[in-house]
Amino acid sequence: MIETNRNATNEGQESYQRWRNELAASPGYQELYEEEAAKKELWLQLVEARQAAGLTQAEVAKRLSISQSQVSRIEKRGYDAYTLNSLRKYVKALGDSFRLEVKVVYLHSAA
């Protein structure tokens, strides 16, 4: 029984790895993956940038004339109500060593 479970587990892992390799080799996969990963980690990029600037949430809030709880919400995992304007203001509050970059990627499919 244990040997059967090990075989099934190994087969499942091998099948998954084959699927993952095929997916990674498909056109446009890497660009799409990087785009989605960057989106999902925006909150973390903001936190790390603030920390690199040596600022607390309260200090950023004061610079933005908003409450510390609003800065906390902006930096919260899963928050997705950013506007380009709010991101610009947040990054500007960090200081001149920081800038906001927006990347537009055109992925076309072969018809």
What does the DSSP assignment read for 41-99? THHHHHHHHHHHTT--HHHHHHHHTS-HHHHHHHTSTT-----HHHHHHHHHHH-TT--
Residue 33 has pLDDT above 90, yes or no: no
Distance spanning both ends of the chain, measured CA to CA? 49
For 36-57, write each residue's pLDDT tens digit: 666 668 888 899 999 999 999 9
- The pLDDT of residue 96 is 95
Which of residues 39 and 18 earns the better pLDDT score? 18
Q: Residue 69 domain-assigned?
A: yes
- The pLDDT of residue 63 is 97
- The pLDDT of residue 50 is 95
Phi and psi at residue 90, to the nearest 5°: -60, -50
Q: Residue 80 domain-assigned?
A: yes
Residue 111 has pLDDT above 60, yes or no: no
Average pLDDT of the residues of the chain: 85
Number of domain units in the chain:
1
Q: Which domain holds residue 51?
A: 41-111
Q: Residue 77 domain-assigned?
A: yes
Which of residues 42 and 75 earns the better pLDDT score? 75
Mean per-residue pLDDT for 53-79? 96
CATH number of 60's domain: 1.10.260.40
